[in-house]
Homo-oligomer: A and B are copies of this chain.
């Protein structure tokens, strides 16, 4: 048999033509290998090599390897479900960030049925059934699959062949790759059930979606379960209830009703961002909630975003509730002639925007139907673009790192399929974003096809205390809207020029950011964001007058303070304050009354006695002003 040359990392191997990745592994062991890259393309380890090539092994530690495991687990689950519920019809089952899911028609099960399915999956895993790939002509595939959903998918394919994967008696239409056999999936867990429309379209039939997670080791699963428990404890919906921050009501599903304490956090976040606007020479604009459809057509939202919008009628004309603030900022820009001397012009908008999220994906403050974004539209000359983006990245860093102490990473998202404008402008805009990132010396990854419909973007993802990643900020460069709305400025040469728009948010949806902060801190917000900053606890009735005086003084100084003057033990009062995450408790008894001092206790148990009120006020005000992450005296 002929030999071929294989480049494996730094080595050059000579192997028999027709050998597979698994064969190569025998002589060249690679810990945890579960798939490989053949000239850069991810394929099965069982793929046979018939010409010289470069290969790289992919392990379960790699992101791509994790995805292969999750995807193989989805097939295993489908096999198990078909065994237990033969009438169920599999539709599609991808790997997702958090694990995998598979959607079935004709599957009527409850949460209680999941362990039974898990048990069946474990049997399949124990049997180490090989995944075998077979490429078949479309016509043959149509005969192979009786299931109407699979047939619908096959009919839409344009290649002449399609790949299928089989393990045991289960065959699926699948691009692959997969692990060599089911035994590679060492640990699985089914997490939840949900309803999902076929192809996400509410006009279609509602399917049953089963979610799960899968790992290459038991340890990873255990770690995941622990994280889940911790996340469960930190669930912002739970904390929101405990701290009396907000509630949801079926009268307006998907929109939080912020209670007084929640509104404080919400408004403080907005105030913070507005203070930064003042420092950084931004102007705020206040714009309508409802605007005419003719404008949404001009902006491109009608073509690209209509399904996510709500509509109404005024004077028999069609109007849409704004899902974004850009066109309103543009109307203000156009309201008078602009000169290059006025640029950059920055119009920040803290208006409510509405987006028609499906009821199935609504999730506390994380996914809502109405929210405020700390967004801003920067109108700049092409020359100013680079500098403005760099300043913006600096602003983002300041907010994430200096104020909230979050780690973050950056992704550059490029032109999506559903985009407007010509390729040259897209390249120019993508180039500007990439260049700015290089100049500020921040690493970033590329996220192909995930840009906004009007331009590419930098996305900023923060990492919370549980290691979870949240996309918050975004900087988007837009050459399209200035064209569509015929925007101009008068240049130094006295003629008209086209400005560039930079769309951007830093904290993103204020609702969502508040949810992230609540989970990140487990409700122990920094002092400046705490709804109640100080709680006063007189020990006995005879300390009440003194306590009231302290309360008045603190309030006069702008501190959010309340008093627990119930006839309860101090122990009980402290526990209550801890439950409500009050950062500072002042216990006032005989000693304090006599010396006119305060005894303070922080939420993390630090104690300090004999503080003078004035010193306390100064320390608290300084902590608030400097937006410190923790409290100390």
Contact = CB atoms under 8 A, between A and B. Distances in A.
Contact of A354 (B260, B289, B315): B289
A287 B312 contact: no
A285 B283 CA distance: 26
Contacts of A555: 279
Nearest to A372: B286
A312 to B, nearest CB: 5
A278 B294 CA distance: 43
A312 B314 contact: no
B260 A285 contact: yes
Query: Is the contact region of chain A dominated by helix, strand, or loop, or is it mixed?
Result: mixed
A571 interface: no
Interface string A305-323: 0000011111100010100
Contacts of A262: 286
A338 to B, nearest CB: 12
Contacts of A267: 274, 284
B311 A259 contact: no
A251 B292 contact: yes
Contacts of A331: 247, 249, 251, 257
A61 B284 CA distance: 49
Q: For the complex formed by this chain, how many copies does it contain in all?
A: 2
A252 B347 contact: no
A288 B252 contact: yes
A283 B259 contact: yes
Nearest to A335: B247
A345 to B, nearest CB: 9
29 contacts: A244-B336, A251-B291, A251-B292, A251-B294, A251-B295, A251-B331, A252-B287, A252-B290, A252-B319, A256-B286, A257-B285, A257-B331, A257-B332, A257-B335, A258-B286, A259-B335, A260-B284, A260-B285, A263-B285, A263-B286, A264-B284, A267-B274, A267-B284, A279-B555, A289-B289, A289-B354, A289-B370, A310-B314, A311-B313
A266 interface: yes
Interface of A: 244, 247, 249-253, 255-264, 266-267, 274, 278-279, 283-292, 294-295, 310-315, 319, 321, 327-328, 331-332, 335-336, 347, 352, 354, 356, 359, 369-370, 555, 558
Contact of A263 (B263, B264, B283, B292): B283
B289 A359 contact: no
Nearest to A284: B263
A328 B279 CA distance: 36
B249 A289 contact: no
A511 to B, nearest CB: 10
A315 B359 contact: yes
Contacts of A312: 310-312, 321
B332 A247 contact: yes
Q: Which 7 A-B pairs have the closest CB atoms?
A: A260-B283, A252-B288, A255-B288, A258-B286, A263-B284, A251-B295, A247-B335
B286 A266 contact: yes
A441 to B, nearest CB: 28
A460 B471 CA distance: 48
Nearest to A290: B252
A532 to B, nearest CB: 12
Contacts of A244: 336
B257 A290 contact: no
Contacts of A252: 287-288, 290-292, 319, 328
A286 B255 CA distance: 10
A266 B283 CA distance: 13
Nearest to A252: B288
Contacts of A332: 247, 257, 259
A319 B256 CA distance: 16
Given A259-B332, A260-B283, A331-B257, A290 B370 contact: yes
A50 to B, nearest CB: 54
Contacts of A292: 250-252
